[in-house]
Amino acid sequence: MIRVIRFLQLGFVMDLLYSAFSFLYQSGDAFAFLVLSACGLAVIFGMMGVINLAHGEFILCGAYVSTSATQMGLPLPLSIAVGAGVAGLIGMPLERLIIRHLYSRPLDTIVATWGISMIVTQGTLIVLGSTMQGSGTPLGSFMVGNYSYSVYRIVLMGTALATLAALWLVFTRTRFGVLARATIQVPHIAQALGVNTGLIYSLTFGLGAALAGLAGGLYAPTMTLVPTMGSAFIVEAFVTVVIGGADIFLGTAPTAAILGVIKAALTSWHGQLAGQIGMLLSVIIVIRILPRGISGWILNERP
Amino acid sequence: MARHLISTLAVLGILLPFSGLATAQDKTPIKLGVLEDQSGDFAVATIGKVHGIQLAAEEINAAGGIDGRPLELVVYDTQSDNTRYQEFMRRVLQRDKVDAVFAGFSSASREAYRPIVNQFDGFAFYNNQYEGGVCDANMVITGAVPEQQFSTLIPYMMEKYGKKVYTIAADYNFGQISAEWVRNIVKENGGEMVGEEFIPLGVSQFSQTIQNIQTAKPDVLVTLLVGTAQASYYEQAGAANLKVPMASSVNVGQGYEHKRFKAPSLANMYATVNYIEEVDTPASKAFIEKWHKKFPSEPYINQEAENSYSAVHLYKQMVERAKSTKREDIRKVIAQGDVCFDAPEGKVCIDPKSQHMSHTIFLAHVKEDHSIDFPKVWQDVKPYWLGDAGCDLTKSDPSAQYTPSNPPVAAE
């Protein structure tokens, strides 16, 4: 009898652990998607103040380039890096040719980047056709309790955390990071001190574009590859950056964590629609209470 | 007298060219408006529809046109955007003054343009499978409907795999009404719905949905996913090793997901289609050969492409038998009940009561390597539901859409 009760208790504890794991996995999955889609935008929009509606097209670029590289025989991690690199290399001249002239006119960047976005989407459709065959999700699946999970999604979570860590190192521990922050905060002083601000702007924009390309490369094996695929990321990216405010580490990361938990909980409770509604509702509430986003609030609260 | 003769001749001389013009007027082109999504979220499934119409028009024109008049296409790209449909529908009806319009992929777009077709008393063909129920004399619908796709598919799946069914569907009129059909058919066959989830268009991440399905442990999963973002579901479910047998009325037959995703993410999917390029009949093979001669790089010929192709040939027959392009004259021909065409799928006929089309329904089964076999074929499945429920366009035109829970009010 006691043994049966012990057994039941054990079963109960195991069930609890399984549920906890599944909730953690789902929240982590939503977190990874939000962080990776938002990182590039956090640099370009959050830091530089360019409302970049072509963010989705950098993601598209990363996805298409990395998938083509995989199909040509490159191993997946390398082809994702190639995708991110190409997106970054395209971002830099784009900043020089178009975005640079609009830094003092932030609203005009909306029109310019929206135009770029339409040209890229339609151009991809005309040149490469309506769809591209995916490379398939690698690494298989594993079981916990009654549920089976994709291993690759764990890789995505790990990459999201690693990306945040790498960005933190770049912006706080490298010369480029310090120069970039100085250039964006007070450009004329930085220039007076001999910083090549033009180059720094290009590099920072390129970094943002490369991060978008990284998101595209990472998610390409799990998604439909079509010219409009960037639009699947852009709402989540903007939501995260707007709530997060200007700082990637104090803004984007905690926002993605909070929204990830809300989204996972509501989706498991009442489906995708509830998840979407919950996420957008929390956005409305947060920007109503904290107009400068979570990072603005944290920085203000600090003595 | 002689002067009289001369002036008569002169008058004749003036008139003669006019009589020549009168016969030339009979050679004026018949204009066909084509509004399909050639870009945007739905383009994958719909570019082929435009090609089907172009192929049929070329064949008809090469064979002397419709009643000697050439067929001219007026094509606009509706960009997967409902407001574009409204804009272009007004344009083809008012400015281009087309004789008929072939329009629409998503049910949202059809319901967006249908009031405009009614307002200007136009004549539109919707060449797409859908959730059924449109009883409108201004519309001819050549796509398959639930009584053709679900009444065949769902009982087959329940008998083969079990009675617990879970539906994931796109969250708009198509998905909601189709899910209602599935629910009703599952109930009629003594089954149980263990879950239903409606997914907003554009959602591309499905981890939690996959887990919700695992929790409910269905025997059969009905997937009614629409658009390229939602198609990502298959890749993600495959990666999470979710192996529930799937059934669909839209996937495979429209978006050829089995060609776009790596095997085996679509394995064990069953879809009822009225045509796909894997159909292995002489008529189908000849059709594919013709198609690839004109469009060598076509990625896939789906059922809506075939519907669009057949619809042009049906329209030719209607106009030639009516000897007119006027809608009311054409509808008198449809009312005779024998407007039929030997389509690549087999013989199809227009039902006078609902102006929908009968179909050969193929049960397409996606195998482990994503090749397709057809475990079952239903010949000549009629679009009976609207007629049985009380829609009769030969008597009255309600211009409404009905559903199982909102059927036509019985005629007094």
Q: Given an 8 Å threshold on Cβ–Cβ distance, is B299 in contact with A273?
A: no
Residues of A within 8 A of B260 (CB-CB) are 131, 133-134, 224-225
Q: Is the pLDDT of residue A217 over 50?
A: yes
- Using alpha carbons, select from B142, B85, B76, B148 the residue that is nearest to residue B114: B85
Residue B231 C-alpha, separation from nearest chain A C-alpha, in angstroms: 6
Contact B209, B198 (CB under 8 A): no
For an interface test with A, the pick among B81, B194, B228, B243 (most A C-beta atoms closer than 10 Å) comes out as B228
Cis bond leading into B218, ω under 30°?
Answer: no
Instruction: Give the confidence band of A3 by pLDDT, cuts at 50, 70, 90.
Output: low
Class of domain B147-273: alpha beta
A226 contacts B205? CB cut-off 8 A: no
State the smallest CA–CA distance between residue B81 and chain A in angstroms. Answer: 13
ipTM of this predicted structure: 0.81
pLDDT band of A8, cuts 50, 70, 90: low
Hey, are the CB atoms on B204 and A226 less than 8 Å from each other? no
Task: Name every chain B residue with its beta carbon within 8 A of the beta carbon of A131.
Answer: 44, 228, 260, 299
Across the range A84-103, mean pLDDT stands at: 91
Contact A130 B239 (CB under 8 A): no
Q: Is A129 in Cβ contact with B171 (below 8 Å)?
A: no
Residue A298 scores a pLDDT above 90: no
Cβ distance of B228 and A224 shorter than 8 Å:
yes
Residue intervals in chain B for CATH 3.40.50.2300: 30-144+280-360+382-401, 147-273
With CB atoms and an 8 Å threshold, state whether A224 touches B171.
Answer: no
Which of A141, A232, A268 lies nearest to residue B208, judging by beta carbons?
Answer: A268
Each residue's pLDDT tens digit, B142-163: 999 999 999 999 999 999 999 9
Using CA of residue B94, residue B95, residue B100, residue B105, what is the dihedral sign? negative
Who has greater pLDDT, A297 or B309?
A: B309
Size of interface A-B (CB pairs under 8 A): 133
Domain B30-144+280-360+382-401 in CATH 3.40.50.2300: yes
The angle formed by the CA atoms of residues A93, A213 and A268, to the nearest 5 degrees, is: 150
CA–CA gap between residue B37 and residue B109 (Å, rounded): 10
Q: Tell if the CB–CB gap between B235 and A223 is shorter than 8 Å.
A: yes
Given this model, what pLDDT does residue B153 score? 93
Q: Could you give the CA distance from residue A272 to residue B262 in angstroms, rounded to a whole number? A: 25
Contact status, residue B113 vs residue B35, Cβ threshold 8 Å:
yes
Long-range contacts of A66-75 (CB under 8 A, 24+ apart): A66/A213, A66/A216, A66/A217, A66/A220, A67/A132, A67/A134, A67/A135, A67/A220, A67/A221, A67/A225, A70/A135, A70/A221, A71/A133, A71/A135
User: Nearest-CA distance from A297 to chain B in Å?
Assistant: 30
* Gap between the Cα atoms of B52 and A1, Å rounded: 72
The confidence score (pLDDT) of residue A119 equals 93
Q: Which residue of A has its CA nearest to B260?
A: A133
B240: which chain A residues are within 8 Å (Cβ-Cβ)? 141, 148-150, 153
**What's the average model confidence in pLDDT over B364-375?**
93
pLDDT in tens, B322-350: 999 999 999 999 999 999 999 999 999 99
pLDDT at B182 over 90: yes
Give pLDDT tens digits for B223-280: 999 888 888 899 889 888 888 999 999 999 998 989 888 888 888 999 999 999 999 9
pLDDT score recorded for residue B265: 86
Each residue's pLDDT tens digit, B111-136: 999 999 999 999 999 999 999 999 99
On the question of pLDDT at B21 being above 70, the answer is no
Distance from CA of B131 to the nearest CA of A (A): 21
Within 8 A of A133 by CB-CB distance, chain B residues are 259-262
State the Cα–Cα distance between residues B91 and B85, nearest whole angstrom.
10
Distances (CA, A) of A205 to A89, A174, B77: 10, 17, 34
